[in-house]
Structure 1
Amino acid sequence: MRVKINKQLCIGCEACVNHCPDVFMMWGMYMKADFEVPRPEQYRDSVLEAAGLCPKRAIAVD
């Protein structure tokens, strides 16, 4: 499972971090914009829910 974050849309509200901290880590300008999720079977539901919580819809999940 690949997660892509549009850093131009992201406002840094950390809704994704609060919902799924094991996957989403906020490092300001150093946040990875495109990454593979380790153990996707464990995190799939939480990652999809976190993407849905993003107020700017900046998170895409493939």
Structure 2
Amino acid sequence: MSSAYDLGTNLVRRIYEKRIDAPAILDAGTHFPNATKFAAAWRSIREEALSVQLNRVPRFHDIMPE
């Protein structure tokens, strides 16, 4: 069964790899021009995230329709 799975996986991977026409890591300057601001503000972003009352944040399955 493992070899059939490996064959299928490799086939699907080859199909998708032919269709993907971008590098694995996108250029931040082109695709995310505020990357330096974001990276510089990570401490304040972290503090804000940690200050949220976690019991008030809905759980994933509560907000995702089935």
| TM-score category, normalised to shorter length | under 0.3
Q: TM-score, normalised by structure 1?
A: 0.27
Which protein has greater RCO, CA pairs closer than 8 Å, 6+ apart?
1
Q: Which structure: greater strand fraction?
A: 1
Q: TM-score, normalised by structure 2?
A: 0.26
Q: Which structure: greater helix fraction?
A: 2
